[in-house]
């Protein structure tokens, strides 16, 4: 109520915006990446007031494409989506919505929750030629888990209480769909909110918007994970038998995934069965005694193909995409290939998967009995004597890697950055102190990890394949390595890293501080020069926006080196190949980075690079490395 007067009635658009943000807040959306716009204006006073009260964490980005990937990155960093702390992306209408399409496609393919809040014109303007008006609820057809289209003036049509209840129900349904709680298929959802003018809040006699017009509901108590009752488990689940299982020459293949519990279960299952573990860097499983380096290189040799021919069982987790030799193994029709998954999205490119073992998301405590149940469900027996040794011996027989000198090669840069993101394990006297890498890899560590140890984001081209070949398995828990492998594009890599560095928002209270970035650990991003140039503007930020703790290491080899590894490089004339595939650019990467507000390091030797990498990541910086030969990505 204004001083000495009746309550100031707010326009329907403001009441609607407050109801939507309040409903999202109550189901665990505590952060927003938003781009400036007109039709989305009703949201701004509500979000700004909530941020002042330390209930929300926001970031403003002028490019909607970057904003989408920033929100995706923030959600990718979460360990469990049902426990709150999600970040939404919010835009105005028209082409702003279309610019979210790359991030929406990646969220769909990678199975990452992405809440897309789009402002829109009222229904009567669609198809009339009205400015910035499109059929934007159909822009993402085929990839959304749910679409909610809220008509304009809903609070006036239904009354405020009924409208708030209806909006809360629709928002709850959308969030369940985004987190995959009903389908085990998390991904993007769209909340399309239509507004009619006036779009600005009504001001009281004191010249301010009354607090009660914008206030969100009181913070809910300790939040239980969102759960939906499952009528039945997905079909095709294997049930174990009590019969003894014969020895099996099996392998575990692990691709990109987000479920830490499945990673731990399958890593320990491989150890229990003494099976080789062929784990990509983003699988969270590249550690322990069974994980192998150079496995893709091995499988491309006659010795490796002979070993692959002897494989009798394959267990798959995640989304393996990096190696044609692994794809060939998974295409075999003469052996059982089983998948362990916590979502409905599985990898079965060749249609050879025999069965799916469903492991609930988040899993629960890891017990020996749990491993026994998993092995029984898969009818997986221990390997015969010497099976694992055959694989280790075959890797050891590969040509020795070139020793690293002071020259900045792409391999040396990638390994140094990877080492700097592997934390030291607890002291272990049995290992002679602290050992980070598995004992079968004799290479010395290149860089000591700074404290705190940063997370690592990889470009989706040669960078991740280089580390798939060379990154050493760790003794303790595998490092958290991230990449947009859903569709494996280079689009939005830097925006994803910014979103991860911004962190997971959690609601705060005035007496305890602002909405915080609970998982906002520092991030290192390792990318090639084309990936950097493709998304460089995502490093730009408004003068009022906080600086992320993000260090971008650019492996600059003057173009797209990955094409030189593919078959058409051998038959295309060099001049044509250079122009149409490698596509070297004229841009000055260090100058561009400085223009975007980053501190720039330009090491010229491996020692200089290691010196930079041993320091903690503070603020925004770009490390530009010109490498010998081809090797970016």
Name the DSSP class of 43: H
Q: Is residue 6 part of a domain?
A: no
Residue 386 lies in a domain: yes
Residue 269 has pLDDT above 60, yes or no: yes
Please say whether the beta carbons of 89 and 67 come within 8 A. yes
Q: Is residue 241 assigned to a domain?
A: no
Among 396, 429, 456, identify where a domain stops: 396
196 inside domain: yes
d(CA 623, CA 555): 9
Q: Are residues 126 and 261 in the same domain?
A: no
Place of tokens 């934390």: 423
pLDDT tens for residues 458-493? 998 888 999 999 998 987 778 889 999 998 888 899
Q: By residue range, what is the domain housing residue 533? A: 410-626
Task: Read off the CATH number of the domain in which 417 is found.
Answer: 3.40.50.970
In a domain, 5, yes or no: no
Residues 141 and 23 in one domain: yes
- Assess whether 190 and 338 both reside in one domain: no
Please determine, for residue 201, whether its predicted confidence score (pLDDT) is greater than 50. yes
Here the CATH number for the domain that contains residue 330 is: 3.40.50.1220
Residue 131 and residue 195 in contact, taking contact as beta carbons nearer than 8 Å: no
**Mean pLDDT, residues 44-54 taken together:** 91
Instruction: Give the total number of structural domains in the chain.
Output: 3
Beta bridge partners of 118: 91, 192
Provide the token pair at 148.
């909610």
The whole-angstrom separation of Cα 395 and Cα 397 is 5
Would you say 158 and 199 are in contact if contact means Cβ atoms under 8 Å apart? no
218 assigned to some structural domain: no
Mean pLDDT computed over 128-153:
92
Q: What is the mean pLDDT of residues 172-195?
A: 92
pLDDT surpassing 80 at residue 344: no
Mean pLDDT calculated for residue range 251-269 = 92
In a domain, 445, yes or no: yes
What's the rounded mean pLDDT across residues 545-551?
A: 94
- The mean per-residue pLDDT over the stretch 235-257 comes to 70
Check the CA dihedral 541-104-188-253 and report its sign. negative
Residues 430 and 504 in one domain: yes
Of 75-89, 166-180, 356-370, the one with minimum mean pLDDT is 356-370
Do both 372 and 342 map to the same domain?
Answer: yes
How many percent of the chain have pLDDT more than 90? 55
* Dist. CA 349–CA 253, nearest whole Å: 14
The predicted structure's pLDDT at residue 58? 93
Q: Among 335, 368, 396, where does a domain finish?
A: 396
Region 248-266: what's the mean pLDDT? Answer: 92
Which of the listed residues 367, 396, 425 is the one where a domain comes to its end? 396
Calculate the CA 399 to chain-centre distance: 34
Exposure pattern of 533-565 as b/e (b: 16+ CB <10 Å)?
bbbbbbbbbeeeeeebbbbbbbbbbbbbbbbbe
The pLDDT of 606-613, averaged and rounded, is: 96
Based on the fold, state whether residues 467 and 381 are members of the same structural domain. no
In angstroms, the CA 307 to CA 304 distance is 5
* pLDDT at residue 425, as a whole number: 66
pLDDT in tens, 216-225: 887 555 444 3
Q: Give the pLDDT band of residue 403 (cuts 50, 70, 90).
A: confident
- Per-residue pLDDT of 410-460, as tens digits, reads 999 999 999 999 887 655 544 444 455 555 555 566 777 787 889 999 998
Least confident span in 65-69, 236-240, 247-251, 624-628: 236-240
Residue 236, CB-side half-sphere exposure with 13 Å CA sphere? 14
Shared-domain flag, residues 422 and 375? no
Give the DSSP letter string of 324-366.
HHHHHHHT-SSS-EEEEESSS----TTS---EEEE--TT----
Identify the DSSP state of 220: P
At residue 128 the predicted structure's pLDDT band, cuts being 50, 70 and 90, is: confident
Q: Is pLDDT at 618 greater than 80 in this prediction?
A: yes
Q: How confident is the model at residue 78 (pLDDT cuts 50, 70, 90)?
A: confident
Mean pLDDT, the chain, rounded, equals 85
Tally of residues, the chain: 633
Please check whether residues 374 and 416 belong to one and the same domain.
no
Residues 489-511 pLDDT 10s: 888 999 999 999 986 565 554 44
Distance, in Å, from the CA atom of 399 to the CA atom of 388, rounded to the nearest integer, reads 20
Average pLDDT rounded to a whole number, residues 82-93 = 86
Q: Alpha carbon 374 to chain centroid distance?
A: 27
At residue 286, the pLDDT reads: 93
Q: Is 515 left (phi over 0), alpha (psi -120 to 50) or beta?
A: beta
- Residues 127, 254 within the same domain: no
The verdict on residue 631 lying in a domain is: no
Q: What is the DSSP letter of 291?
A: B
Q: How far apart are CA 156 and CA 163, in angstroms?
A: 8
* Same domain flag for 421 and 379: no
Which of 339-343, 387-391, 394-398, 462-466 shows the lowest mean pLDDT across its residues?
A: 339-343
Residues 133 and 257 placed together within one structural domain of the fold? no
Six token digits for residue 557: 């080899």
| pTM metric for this prediction | 0.84
pLDDT for 57 equals 92
pLDDT for the residue numbered 246? 78
Query: Are 489 and 564 in the same domain?
Result: yes
């Amino acid at each position: 109520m204004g001083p000495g007067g009746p309550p100031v009635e707010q326009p329907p658009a403001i009441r609607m915006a407050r109801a939507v943000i309040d409903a999202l807040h109550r189901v665990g959306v505590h952060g927003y990446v938003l781009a400036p716009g007109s039709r989305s204006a009703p949201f701004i006073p509500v979000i700004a007031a909530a941020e002042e009260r330390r209930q929300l964490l926001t970031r403003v980005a002028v490019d909607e494409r970057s904003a989408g990937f920033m929100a995706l990155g923030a959600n990718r960093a979460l360990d469990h989506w049902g426990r709150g702390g999600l970040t939404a992306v919010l835009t105005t209408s028209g082409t702003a919505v279309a610019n979210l399409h790359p991030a929406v496609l990646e969220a769909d393919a990678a199975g990452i929750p992405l809440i897309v809040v789009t402002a829109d014109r009222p229904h009567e303007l669609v198809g009339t030629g009205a400015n910035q008006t499109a059929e934007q609820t159909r822009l993402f057809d085929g990839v959304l888990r749910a679409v909610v289209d809220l008509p304009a003036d809903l609070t006036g049509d239904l009354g405020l209480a009924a409208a708030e209840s209806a909006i809360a129900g629709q928002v709850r349904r959308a969030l369940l769909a985004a987190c995959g709680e009903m389908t085990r298929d998390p991904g993007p959802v769209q909340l399309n909110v239509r507004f009619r003018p006036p779009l600005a809040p009504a001001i009281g006699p004191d010249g301010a918007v009354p607090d009660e017009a914008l206030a969100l509901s009181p913070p809910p108590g300790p939040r239980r994970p969102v759960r939906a009752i499952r009528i039945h488990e997905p079909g095709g689940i294997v049930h174990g038998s009590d019969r003894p299982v014969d020895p099996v020459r099996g392998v575990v293949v692990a691709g990109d995934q987000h479920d830490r519990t499945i990673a731990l279960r399958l890593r320990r299952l491989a150890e229990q069965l003494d099976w080789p573990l062929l784990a990509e860097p983003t699988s969270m499983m590249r550690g322990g005694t069974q994980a192998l380096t150079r496995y893709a290189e091995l499988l491309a040799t006659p010795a490796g193909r002979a070993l692959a021919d002897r494989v009798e069982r394959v267990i798959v987790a995640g989304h393996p995409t990096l190696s044609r030799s692994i794809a060939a193994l998974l295409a075999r029709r003469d052996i059982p290939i089983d998948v362990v998954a916590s979502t409905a999205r599985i990898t079965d490119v060749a249609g050879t998967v025999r069965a799916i073992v469903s492991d609930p998301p988040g899993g629960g405590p890891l017990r020996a009995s749990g491993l026994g149940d998993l092995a029984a469900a898969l009818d997986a027996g221990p390997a015969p004597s010497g099976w694992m040794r055959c694989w280790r011996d075959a890797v050891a027989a590969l040509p020795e890697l070139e020793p690293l000198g002071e020259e900045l090669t792409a391999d040396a840069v990638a390994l140094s950055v990877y080492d700097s993101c592997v934390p030291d394990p607890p002291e272990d006297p049995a290992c002679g102190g602290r050992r980070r890498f598995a004992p079968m890899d004799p290479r010395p560590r290149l860089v000591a990890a700074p404290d705190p140890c940063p997370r690592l984001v990889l470009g989706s081209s040669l960078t991740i394949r280089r580390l798939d070949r060379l990154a050493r398995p760790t003794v303790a828990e595998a490092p958290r390595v991230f990449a947009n492998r859903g569709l494996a594009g280079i689009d939005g890599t830097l925006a994803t890293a910014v979103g991860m560095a911004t962190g997971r928002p959690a609601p705060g209270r005035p007496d305890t501080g602002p909405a915080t970035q609970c998982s906002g650990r520092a991030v290192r991003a390792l990318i090639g020069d084309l990936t950097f140039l493709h998304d460089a503007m995502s490093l730009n930020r408004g003068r009022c926006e906080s600086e992320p703790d993000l260090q971008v290491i650019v492996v600059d080899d003057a173009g797209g080196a990955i094409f030189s590894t593919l078959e058409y490089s051998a038959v295309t004339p060099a001049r044509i190949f250079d122009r149409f595939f490698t596509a070297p650019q004229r841009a000055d990467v260090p100058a561009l980075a400085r223009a975007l507000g980053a501190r720039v390091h330009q090491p010229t030797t491996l020692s200089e690079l290691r010196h930079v990498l041993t320091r903690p990541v503070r603020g925004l910086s770009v490390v530009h490395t010109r490498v010998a030969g081809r090797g970016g990505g």
